[in-house]
Amino acid sequence: MRFVDEVEIEVASGNGGRGSSSFRREKYVPKGGPDGGDGGKGGDVVLVADTSMTSLLDFRQKKRLKAKHGEPGQSSNKHGKNGEDLLIRLPVGTMVIDTESEELLADLTEPGVPVVLLEGGKGGKGNARFATSTNRAPTYAQQGLPGVKTKVRLELKLMADVGLLGFPNAGKSTLISRISAARPKIADYPFTTLVPNLGVVSWGEERAFVVADIPGIIEGASEGVGLGIQFLKHVERTRLLLHLVDPVDGEDPVEKYIALRRELDKFSAELAAKPEFVVLTKMDITEAREGAEELSKRFAEEAGVKRVWMISAVAGDGLQPVVRALGEKLLSMNKERVEDD
C-alpha cells in the first residue's frame, strides 16, 4: 500500500555562521583596523502545500531533514553567505504536530503558500562591529546562533467536498468510478479499498466538486476495529457526507446505518453534525427495488432520515439527480459562508 498518511520526521534549521576577526593593513591604524565581516544567517525550514503530492510516502525514508548552515564572515567586511532554506513540499491537507507537546505547528490547507516552520540561527557579528573610540582594534567576534531542531508528526487529512461513507461492499468504489474519472479497485470482498480515492465530479455548467471514497468502516472502528480510525480522520475535512447503504447483503440496512452513525459520534461530534445524504444502492437488483419504499419509511421513523435517495451505480440509474443535489447543496453552503463572512 503506497498511500501513507502519517509519519514522524526530525527537522532542523541551519546554524548562523561565525563572525570574522581580521584586520586590514593600513598605515597609522592600529593593527590595520578591524575589517571582520558578519556571519551568514542559517537557513529556515519552510513548508509548502503542493497539489501534485497525494501521500507522505517520500518521508518514509527521509527521517532527518536539515537546512544549510550560514557561512563564516570574511575579511574586508565581507558577510558570509546565508544558508539555503530547506523547502519541504507536502500534500494539501497536511498537519504538522510537535511530537512532544502535541501542539499543532502548521495546517497546510492553502496550496503554494509558504509557511516558515523553523527560523535559522542569526549570523555572528564580525570584529568590525565592535570598534569604538576607546577600542579601535577589537579582536572579539561573535559565534553564530544555533538553529532549531525538533521532531514533528506529519498527518495528512484529505481535502474533499463530499466524503463517501458506508460499510464494506456498500458500493462506494463503484459509485466514484461512475461519477468521476477515479478508478479505484473494485471486488466483491470486504476492504477492497485500502487507500482513500479522490475524484472530481462535474455538474451543471462548468461546476465541479471533489469526492473522497473512504475505505469501509465497520462497527467498533472508533476503537480501532477493522481498519479502525486510520481513515475516519479523512472525512473530518469534508463538508458533506454521502452515506451509502447496501439493502440486500443479509443484514438490516437501518440498523447498519445507525451503527455507523454511532461510530461517527464516538469519533467526532463535529463530524457527525455535518450535512448528510443517505443513499440506498444496488437498485438494479429486484429485491432491492421491491423493498425500497418500505425501507424509506423505516429510515424516517427509526433513524430520522427524511429523504433516502436510490441509485444503481452499476446501471447508472439515479446518479445524476444525486450529483446535482450534492452540487446545489454545496453551492448553497458556499453562499451561506460568504454571507456570514
Residue 22: which of 8, 38, 10 has the closest Cα?
38
Pick the most confident of 10-19, 307-316, 331-340: 10-19
Question: Over the stretch 126-144, which tens digit does the pLDDT of each residue have?
Answer: 999 999 988 988 999 999 9
pLDDT value of residue 264: 81
Q: Does residue 289 or residue 160 have the better pLDDT?
A: 289
pLDDT for residue 175 is more than 80: yes
pLDDT value of residue 340: 63
pLDDT for residue 297 is more than 90: yes
pLDDT value of residue 217: 54
pLDDT for residue 187 is more than 50: no
pLDDT value of residue 196: 66
pLDDT value of residue 226: 41
Average pLDDT on 210-226 reads 58
Q: Alpha-carbon distance 213 to 196, whole Å?
A: 6
Confidence band, pLDDT 50/70/90 cuts, at residue 287? very high
Q: What spatial distance separates the first Cα and last Cα of the chain, rounded to whole Å?
A: 41
Q: Alpha-carbon distance 274 to 63, whole Å?
A: 36
pLDDT for residue 266 is more than 50: yes
Q: Report yes or no on whether pTM surpasses 0.85.
A: no
Question: Over the stretch 188-216, which tens digit does the pLDDT of each residue have?
Answer: 434 334 466 778 888 877 788 888 877 65
Q: Which helix (H) or strand (E) holds 87?
A: strand 86-91
Q: Alpha-carbon distance 318 to 311, whole Å?
A: 5
Please report the domains of the chain, with CATH numbers, ordered by start residue.
Answer: 6-156 (2.70.210.12), 162-340 (3.40.50.300)
Q: How many CA atoms lie within 13 A of 260 on its CB side?
A: 23
Q: Does residue 53 or residue 257 have the better pLDDT?
A: 257
Confidence band, pLDDT 50/70/90 cuts, at residue 224? very low
pLDDT value of residue 231: 58
Question: Over the stretch 47-106, which tens digit does the pLDDT of each residue have?
Answer: 999 988 877 888 888 889 999 999 999 999 999 999 999 999 998 889 999 999 999 999
Contact 86, 117 (CB under 8 A): no
Confidence band, pLDDT 50/70/90 cuts, at residue 259? confident
